[in-house]
């Protein structure tokens, strides 16, 4: 594949740059993203239908913040460090970090700039070349990121270390089958399994962020007005088309009726328009196939006896934010990723029961907890089978560059962002060198006459 070949040819030069030069590339990217932020947000809004303010805050600033974080953090993570030499006290043990090579980044349409940018920044900061395959639904947003990366790399003579591959699923499949060194994929569980299977044939490591069915647990002692505002925002931001969206809420029974009233009242205040304006809270869903999935999940719930408390209407891409009650736990809204503006509410006898129900889902990407008792929140967070937990807020954990992001169970494996996200695009190399040179090593030939002495010495060292 030509784009992979170009990235492969450029990679040694980029990887050989001193760390300070690589950090200058990240700084140049950050400055360009901030300077072109309005242009980027406009392109995102046009492709996805989300408001420009949301695009700027959730995508432009998230990528710029991650670049700044790694400018400061990467030199510490990537420097050679010492390790304990164990029994070989006359040796010096070292661990170095090296980039993997060429990273394939395959990204979705729902956050088309940040979900290209996050894995690509992790890879570039670690010293890898990148080949980016954005979604065919949102090609312009991904192309803008690669354009900015190439401009920054040009100053270091490494422009070809960032490549763009446009196309649909067949292009992504060809990229995974090409000689790349790591694949970072964000998207559906089904496609993630296909990618992991194809990559396994080449022993190519993968970082997979897949489906989710994120739950909110609302305790009776929570600030219910804040919780209602937060849950509505977490459920309906970007029309619910976020992997960290709140897709269901479990509310302790004493607070349930009041919480339902507050959530419906909050949803009524949302301003929707297509196309979105500066006054809009919500725009449109991004493309018809996702509308069909969300509409099917709503119809399934209603056919099983669910009650629509608010919304449920809309035509085409204009899907109304919808709040439901009495949704059976075996309905699609509780068992699969719907990726739409749908919020089922359910009463539970305790937050612990809510956690138990939430954990039955096959996914475990993100969850939120709403309570004034932070000690209890910490305990509940430990019980939740989820890669990320946010207490008394929603969505914002995704903007904290120092926190690793990824899921458990069928939500995938590997991490992006944080220390773990950078290190995922590196490999370790162990080096053992002499600190004190001996004329002969204790365990070399010949063994005769030295066996008792060596055994006794090693026993004594290990018994300490």
Q: Domains, the chain, ranges and CATH?
A: 2-210+413-427 (3.40.605.10), 215-400 (3.40.309.10)
pLDDT higher than threshold 90 for residue 451? no
pLDDT higher than threshold 90 for residue 216? yes
pLDDT score for 460: 86
pLDDT score for 255: 99
Q: What is the dihedral of CA 361, 404, 11, 165, to 10 degrees?
A: 40
pLDDT higher than threshold 90 for residue 379? yes
pLDDT score for 453: 83
Query: pLDDT by residue (tens digit) across 153-190?
Result: 999 999 999 999 999 999 999 999 999 999 999 999 99
pLDDT band at 130 (very low <50, low <70, confident <90, very high): very high
pLDDT score for 399: 93
- What pTM does this model have? 0.96
Query: pLDDT by residue (tens digit) across 350-369?
Result: 999 999 999 999 999 999 99
Is-contact 341 364, C-beta < 8 A? no
Give percent above pLDDT 90 in the chain: 94
Q: Which residue, 350, 348, 340, 344, is CA-closest to 319?
A: 340
In angstroms, the CA 8 to CA 36 distance is: 29
pLDDT score for 50: 98
Query: pLDDT by residue (tens digit) across 228-267?
Result: 999 999 999 999 999 999 999 999 999 999 999 999 999 9
61-65 own/partner pairs: CB under 8 Å, 24+ apart: 61/37, 61/399, 62/114, 62/117, 62/118, 62/398, 62/399, 63/33, 63/113, 63/114, 63/117, 63/118, 63/121, 63/145, 64/30, 64/33, 64/34, 64/37, 65/399, 65/401
Q: Which residue, 219, 328, 325, 339, is CA-closest to 264?
A: 325
pLDDT score for 133: 99
pLDDT higher than threshold 90 for residue 440? no
CB atoms within 10 A of CB 36: 16
- As a whole number, the mean pLDDT across the chain is 97
Q: What is the mean pLDDT of residues 333-348?
A: 96
Is-contact 123 105, C-beta < 8 A? yes
The region of weakest confidence among 190-194, 205-209, 336-340, 412-416 is 336-340
pLDDT score for 128: 99
Q: What is the mean pLDDT of residues 212-241?
A: 98
pLDDT higher than threshold 90 for residue 441? no
Query: pLDDT by residue (tens digit) across 63-89?
Result: 999 999 999 999 999 999 999 999 999
pLDDT band at 9 (very low <50, low <70, confident <90, very high): very high
pLDDT higher than threshold 90 for residue 217? yes
pLDDT higher than threshold 90 for residue 442? no
Q: Which residues are catalytic?
A: 209, 243
Helices (H), 16-105: 19-35, 37-48, 52-55, 61-78
pLDDT score for 356: 98
């Amino acid at each position: 594949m030509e784009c992979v070949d170009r990235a492969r040819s450029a990679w040694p030069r980029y990887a050989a740059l001193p760390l300070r030069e690589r950090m200058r590339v990240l700084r140049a990217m950050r400055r360009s993203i901030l300077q072109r932020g309005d242009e980027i947000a406009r392109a995102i809004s046009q492709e996805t239908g989300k408001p420009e303010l949301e695009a700027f805050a959730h995508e432009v600033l998230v990528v710029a913040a991650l670049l700044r974080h790694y400018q400061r953090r990467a030199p510490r993570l990537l420097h050679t460090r010492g390790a304990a030499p164990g029994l070989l006290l006359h040796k010096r043990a070292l661990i170095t970090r090296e980039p993997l090579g060429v990273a394939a980044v395959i990204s979705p349409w729902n956050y088309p700039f940040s979900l290209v940018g996050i894995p690509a920044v992790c890879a570039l900061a670690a010293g890898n070349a990148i080949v980016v395959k954005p979604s065919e639904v949102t090609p312009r947003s991904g192309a803008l990121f690669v354009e900015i990366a190439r401009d920054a790399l040009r100053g270091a003579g490494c422009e070809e270390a960032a490549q763009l591959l446009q196309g649909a699923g067949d292009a992504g499949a060809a990229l995974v089958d090409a000689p790349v060194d790591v694949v970072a994929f964000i998207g559906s569980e089904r496609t993630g399994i296909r990618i992991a299977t194809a990559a396994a044939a080449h022993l190519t490591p993968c970082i997979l962020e897949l489906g989710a069915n994120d739950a909110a647990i609302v305790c009776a002692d929570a600030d219910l007005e804040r919780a209602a505002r937060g849950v509505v925002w977490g459920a309906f931001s970007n029309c619910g088309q976020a992997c960290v969206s709140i897709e269901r809420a479990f509310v302790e029974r004493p607070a349930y009726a009041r919480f339902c009233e507050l959530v419906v009242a909050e949803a009524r205040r949302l301003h929707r328009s297509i196309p979105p304006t500066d006054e809009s809270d919500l725009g449109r869903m991004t493309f018809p196939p996702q509308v069909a999935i969300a509409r099917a999940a709503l119809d399934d719930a209603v056919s099983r006896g669910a009650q629509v408390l608010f919304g449920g209407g809309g035509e085409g891409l204009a899907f109304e934010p919808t709040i439901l009650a009495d949704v059976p736990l075996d309905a699609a809204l509780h068992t699969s990723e719907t990726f739409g503006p749908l919020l089922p509410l359910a009463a539970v006898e305790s937050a612990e029961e809510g956690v138990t129900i939430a954990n039955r889902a096959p996914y475990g990407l993100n969850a939120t907890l709403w309570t004034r008792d932070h000690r209890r929140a910490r305990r509940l967070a430990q019980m939740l089978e989820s890669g990320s937990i946010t207490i008394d807020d929603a969505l914002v954990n995704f903007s904290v560059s120092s926190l690793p992001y990824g899921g458990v169970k069928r939500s995938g494996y590997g991490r992006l962002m944080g220390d773990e996200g950078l290190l995922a695009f590196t490999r370790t190399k162990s080096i053992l060198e002499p600190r004190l040179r001996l004329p002969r090593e204790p365990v070399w030939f010949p063994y005769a006459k030295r066996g008792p002495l060596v055994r006794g010495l090693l026993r004594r060292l290990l018994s300490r």
